[in-house]
Chain A
Amino acid sequence: MNKSVPTPSSPQIRPIEAKDFAFIRSLAAEFSTFTVPSEYLLWFLTRFHPDYCRVIEQSNGNVTAYFLAIPTSEPRNGIAIWQAAATKPDHAFALEYFAVYLRSLVERSGVKDVFFTMPADSASLRLIRSLAGHFAECEVVQLKSVPVGQGEYEFRLSIHLNQSESG
């Protein structure tokens, strides 16, 4: 297992393509609480919600992280993040990059609430709370437990950007 801190290499963020499906499925399989998305589901999400599905690609062409989300109809103007994952040791960097992307998505789409689920004691939650404070000056609110097992809880970020902050 590589425990070294990654060296920056001018990574790019781009839409998910069919060639990324194998990577996404392979990485999802490493997490016990993740559902491995079928290729059809990945095609469906990227076909109809392309702005909500992204990968991080390093300068050497290696894809190291992915992000899958959908717009919500209840509540309106929301984003629900289904999965966000990265290979070690890029995890923390990827969360920062996705937070920036998510903020730009919020600015473009007028989104007010971002939802995600994860275990309440997850180490990643500390970084997510920190990023939420940095980028949106909002707190991560823990909601109800997910009723279908896995020990996860629903979390919400309510984002209210000042006019001067957006654009």
Chain B
Amino acid sequence: MRTSPVGTYLRFLRKKHGLSQRALAEILGAVSESQVSRHERSGSLPTIIAALSYQVVFEKPVSEIFPGLYHAVEISIEERLDERARRLGDSATDGPIREFIARRASRQANPEDSE
């Protein structure tokens, strides 16, 4: 095997459902065949309408359909929160952020308490 576009879970899902890119685009309506192709090879990010359309069609949350993107966002936010927590002071904006970080940490430590 030589150089080839990367594969993604979206492409895997479409094939698992036996759909061509054209057929999937027809079902989605708001997404063209070429856009499906670009989303499948990480050529562009889906719009919120496209992402939700994929969720409806495949009956899976967007976070599962785009696992790499979801975890990249998750890691980015967690790192930003860690950094922000280290810089917390006494300013007016720091109070709500401090409370948010504390509530989030509590939920993560005791996930059953939040259900």
Interface residues of B, count at CB 8 A? 32
Interface residues of A, count at CB 8 A? 37
Which of B8, B12, B38, B68 has most A Cβ within 10 Å? B68
Count of A-B contacts with CB under 8 A? Answer: 100
A112 vs B7: C-alpha distance in the bound complex, in angstroms?
A: 21
Q: Which of B26-34, B42-50, B103-111 contacts A (4 or more CB under 8 A)?
A: B42-50
CB pair A95 B2 closer than 8 Å? no
**In the complex, B92 has a CB within 8 A of chain A:** no
Question: Which A residues lie at the B interface, using CB under 8 A?
Answer: 3-15, 51, 56-57, 89-97, 99-101, 103-104, 123, 127, 130-131, 134-135, 165
Report 21 cross-chain contacts, Cβ distance below 8 Å, ordered by A residue.
A3-B83, A5-B73, A10-B43, A12-B6, A13-B5, A13-B7, A14-B2, A14-B3, A89-B72, A93-B42, A95-B68, A95-B71, A96-B67, A97-B42, A101-B7, A103-B12, A123-B75, A131-B9, A134-B67, A135-B12, A165-B16
